[in-house]
Amino acid sequence: MPTPLTEYGEPDLSAVSGTASTIAPRLRRGQLIVLVSTTYPGTTEELVRPILEGGGLAVGADIALGYSPEREDPGNPRFALENTPKLVSGCTDACRELTALLYEPVVAKVVPVSTTRVAEASKLLENIYRAVNIALVNELKMCFDRMGIDVWEVIGAAGTKPFGFTPFYPGPGLGGHCIPIDPFYLTWKARAFDFHTRFIELAGEVNTAMPDYVVTRLHEALDVRGSTLHGARILVLGVAYKRDTSDIRESPALRVLSILARRGAVITYHDPHVPRLGRSRHYQFDLESTPLTPESLRRADAVLIVTDHSSVDYQSVVQHAALVVDTRNATRDVRDGREKVVKA
């Protein structure tokens, strides 16, 4: 079940509780229920279990309740359900064992953990680890920009160290259902224990600010060329949150488009995986993907690369565009016309 945030930044577990309430009166003895949604530690025991037991059957005696977080990476050709280790847990030892038996036939490795809280916290750690490290390189990108240092070259150089370093890469902000949202489930739960999750909240501030930074860099690049953002024709290249997918959930491109429209730019976009942009959770658009042709590139005052889809010919983009602002280092292999490229 989806686990978004409310408009006030708090966990919205209505889908989880609603589903549990729907199935509770229909449960039969011997059934196993497994929650896979990413959520704060305690959800399975404190929220789902009481609702299910409200139907008259006891967890651990009449029915089994487990937690096994979803682990997926959309667009990743190497890892899928069957070859990604599967964390399993349960409200009792028997619940955990039954959950393991459910997944053992379909995954390469099952990893049992002691409690549902441990499994819930492990999933959050996976996503918080990425969110904090991405925020770190995003902050370094802004710092190194002022110093005239290419952050991408810095990361590549540091990545030659064979131990003690894992490369993360900057971008225009975070997208997808997991990383921009899940860390704040722990932030919310931590308050009940009088604990302030400073790293998580600071990472959120840095990552949330990246779309504004990207637009500022675009504005500066136009200004150097004697133009202004207001009235400029901006072609946004890529609106999915991740390369080679059609998923626009929480995509930073949506905020970038919104900021550009608010500041008077004339916006179009091209995305081979997203033919149309309409209403989303936070934004309202009525746009169709523009064909990426030499003519459409030449018409734009600037091309802003937000998502680096692999099917795009970036040499052609640079060749025909007047200005390219690149947030993903997609033009790294382009040789001709590099004077028209600005990293953001």
Angle of helix 198-224 relative to helix 252-262, nearest 10 degrees, comes to: 50
* Annotated catalytic residue within 91, 95, 143, 178: 178
Measured CA to CA, the distance from residue 290 to residue 239 in angstroms comes to 12
The half-sphere exposure of 84 on its side-chain side, counting CA atoms within 13 A, is: 14
Tell me, yes or no, if 178 is annotated catalytic.
Answer: yes
CB 326 within 8 A of CB 222: no
Please state, as a whole number, how many other Cβ atoms lie within 10 Å of the Cβ of residue 197.
Answer: 18
Measured CA to CA, the distance from residue 21 to residue 16 in angstroms comes to 9
Beta carbons within 8 Å of 168's beta carbon, 6+ residues apart: 130, 133, 134, 136, 137, 155
Angle of helix 116-147 relative to helix 198-224, nearest 10 degrees, comes to: 30
The half-sphere exposure of 73 on its side-chain side, counting CA atoms within 13 A, is: 12
Catalytic residues: 178
